[in-house]
C-alpha cells in the first residue's frame, strides 16, 4: 500500500467516524463518498453520494444542498461514471448557489476535475464559463 492510498485510508477512517456521529448530515457523507471514489470503491461512493443528496435537498438547505450536488459531480467523475458526473455538474451549475469548484478557473485547472478532461461535453461547459473579452 503506497503513501497516497494509506493517507486516503486514514482520511476515510476519520470521515467514517464523523458520519457515524452525524448519520443524517449529507455534507459529511458526501466527503466520505469522494474519498471512496478516489480509493476505487465506485459503487459505495455513488451510493454515499446519492444518499447525501437525498439527505440534503435543495428545497430544504440551499447552501449545503448545492455543495453536495456539486461535489457529487466530482465523486461520480472519480468513480468513473462520466455521464452521471456531467449530469450532476450541469445540475450544480443551475443550482441557486454555485461553489468555487464550479468556477471557470476551478473547472479548467483543479485536479479534482481531471477525470473529465478531454470529454467534449466537459470542455464545452468549461468554455461556456470562460471570461468574455473585456475590450
Q: What is the pLDDT of residue 133?
A: 77
pLDDT of residue 101: 87
- Pull the grid cell for residue 125: 461547459
pLDDT tens-digit profile of 65-88?
999 999 999 999 999 999 999 999
CB contact at 8 A, 12 and 30: no
Question: If you ran DSSP here, which 8-state letter would residue 131 be given?
Answer: P
- Domains defined for the chain, CATH in brackets: 3-128 (1.25.40)
Tell me the mean pLDDT in the region 103-116: 95
Tens of pLDDT, residues 3-30: 578 999 999 999 999 999 999 999 999 9
Question: Rounded to an integer, what distance in angstroms lies between the CA atom of residue 6 and that of residue 73?
Answer: 24
pLDDT of residue 99: 75
Return the SS3 of 54.
helix
Q: What is the pLDDT, as a whole number, of residue 2?
A: 53
Amino acid at each position: 500500500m503506497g503513501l497516497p492510498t494509506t493517507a486516503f485510508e486514514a482520511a476515510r477512517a476519520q470521515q467514517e467516524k464523523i458520519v457515524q456521529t452525524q448519520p443524517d448530515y449529507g455534507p459529511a457523507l458526501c466527503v466520505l463518498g469522494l474519498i471512496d471514489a478516489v480509493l476505487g470503491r465506485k459503487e459505495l461512493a455513488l451510493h454515499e453520494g446519492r444518499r447525501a443528496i437525498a439527505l440534503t435537498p435543495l428545497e430544504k438547505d440551499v447552501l449545503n444542498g448545492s455543495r453536495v450536488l456539486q461535489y457529487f459531480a466530482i465523486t461520480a467523475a472519480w468513480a468513473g461514471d462520466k455521464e452521471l458526473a456531467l449530469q450532476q455538474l450541469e445540475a450544480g451549475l443551475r443550482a441557486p448557489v454555485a461553489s468555487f469548484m464550479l468556477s471557470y478557473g476551478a473547472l479548467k485547472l483543479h485536479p479534482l476535475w481531471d477525470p473529465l478532461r478531454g470529454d467534449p461535453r466537459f470542455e464545452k461547459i468549461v468554455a461556456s464559463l470562460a471570461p468574455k473579452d473585456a475590450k
